[in-house]
Structure 1
């Protein structure tokens, strides 16, 4: 995992085109084949925007960084903020030889990208020309795979939108993609319940993944796609910008999820 997994293609967008949510993959390994699902997920937006609409033209994948295959997806505009804190949307299912891993994803964006402000105003979202020419996203992976798996495209919309001084908005992608196999998530509930917090998981290598707690769901948060490591859980208070430590030295072992608190007994944000 690279710090903030930024830049890589404007990824997520692509993913919508959903057909179902969180469907389990069928394991066809007995026939020497495995089903691979591509899913979109997002970190929630807290303030300033009601929606982020991304114009996805196509998405392709590679298993060897040389040959590329297009997913059977029709281009469309995707509202990506609907998928956060553990929610995801199925993009497409494919079948590969057992053990073969998707290593890269390439996105092709159109020009019809917009954001909707809190007052309902729709603004164009300016995408640098490079992001419309087919950008590559490296897929974080586990050492080996023997069965079907999910490829998650994880887009942080709130951190990817840049408000310019002239009243326009542009896109600076903060995204990552990973294979969800033997990965974990950390979740929990925070107090005060009505004060949203941007939650960060930071491992010993300094790699950072974030989400925003959902005040409509008892201030619930979930950070997914974590590999085995010790993590510090920090929070940035949305209202003040203050950064605090919520929990230190949380040990994660691949495949085991960590529940830090419940709605009845939430973690107190200092």
Structure 2
């Protein structure tokens, strides 16, 4: 199935999200009185170290009760027929793949389940292709039985088409095992598109493939990768009266990090931070690594590298500890980050914060939510940071 690039008015973008949008009319599938139409689509945020991440979707389920059991009442199925094998990494920068749609009773829904087809025999319905490696089966036991559970309230109005977009963050969802295998531990978030906007920009073509994040308080709310021309789209980002603007963090390979502070997000609108005529061009930087282990391996830790500048800590990279060995590694710029404040006048000037060059905080979070942090200095050499829970 060929994915479709959609952004009409206030439409979307898995750094990762389930997106909900209501619009008038049901096309040829006009629902009966008291019913609406639910359409399910999928998108993705970038993956780390993989050329392809394939999942095969055969069904989506919704329920009005967030506590409904797998075999409980109230489930409505949106069949995906035939089952669709989708490369998540083709669904970035606002690209969507439509899974299916169905009429269902109007009302409030709380729970979503994404059900994947199992790997059978030599057929890999779900798999990963590591960069420079061969296709390897992706272990998804719960997804092929009860499905992955997502809690996000949404409403289906009578005589209305509601779009539900499932947004994987493949970077955070694929967890390597020490034996060369991989587990799928999905990271999926939810955003109502009707209150969402987007942020776009351009880097130089030499910065193609750069990771680009929209962050609030150092927490990534949307991510993507710059395309072959250096262009990027962060969509959707929820407009928030409490959380406010976002900071756009740009992390190319072999260049300094770029940070544009206080970028406004306006529902139904696009905020531009740079253009092809005035792209963000970051200076060269040596890349060094922060690596180590997180033990015991049962901690199944997630990690992120934070860099403090302009009075705020920003996420620069994320990783998982290997579920068999506990090992992890993150590649980070040693140069000073380039920081500026959003302005409608382009280009936005960025200035180096020399005091932050090579200085990071590594944060490890266990599967039980325990958090440990350590300082890491890569200004002159690689750093080793080991954690014990």
So what's the TM-score if we normalise by structure 1? Answer: 0.75
Q: Secondary structure at the match of 2:195?
A: coil
Runs of 5+ consecutive residues of structure 1 not aligned to the other structure:
1-16
Alignment partner, residue 314 of structure 2 = none
Q: Would the aligned equivalents of 2:205 and 2:229 in 1 still touch at CA under 8 Å? A: no
Alignment partner, residue 117 of structure 1 = 130
Q: Would the aligned equivalents of 2:214 and 2:223 in 1 still touch at CA under 8 Å? A: no
2:224 is aligned with 1:212 = yes
Q: CA deviation at 1:89?
A: 1.3
Residues 1:149 and 1:217: Cα distance change in structure 2 (over 3 Å) = farther
Q: CA deviation at 1:48?
A: 2.9
Equivalent-residue separation in structure 2 for 1:103 and 1:189 (angstroms) = 37
Q: Secondary structure at the match of 2:253?
A: coil
Runs of 5+ consecutive residues of structure 2 not aligned to the other structure:
9-22, 69-73, 120-125, 283-337, 339-389
Q: Highest CA radius of gyration, 1 or 2? A: 2
Residues 1:115 and 1:226: Cα distance change in structure 2 (over 3 Å) = same
Q: CA deviation at 1:266?
A: 1.9
Equivalent-residue separation in structure 2 for 1:264 and 1:80 (angstroms) = 30
Structure of greater relative contact order (alpha carbons < 8 Å, 6+ residues apart): 1
Residues 1:203 and 1:48: Cα distance change in structure 2 (over 3 Å) = closer
Q: CA deviation at 1:191?
A: 4.2
Say which of 82, 90, 95 aligns to 1:87. Answer: 95
Alignment partner, residue 369 of structure 2 = none
Equivalent-residue separation in structure 2 for 1:212 and 1:21 (angstroms) = 14
Alignment partner, residue 231 of structure 1 = 245
Equivalent-residue separation in structure 2 for 1:239 and 1:219 (angstroms) = 15
Q: CA deviation at 1:195?
A: 4.8
Q: Show the 5 A alignment for 1:158-177.
A: 158-177=171-190
Q: Show the 5 A alignment for 1:66-145.
A: 66=68, 67-74=74-81, 75-96=83-104, 100-112=107-119, 113-119=126-132, 121-127=134-140, 129-134=141-146, 135-139=148-152
User: How many pairs are equivalent?
Assistant: 248
The two structures, once aligned, show a CA RMSD in angstroms of: 3.4
Residues 1:23 and 1:186: Cα distance change in structure 2 (over 3 Å) = closer
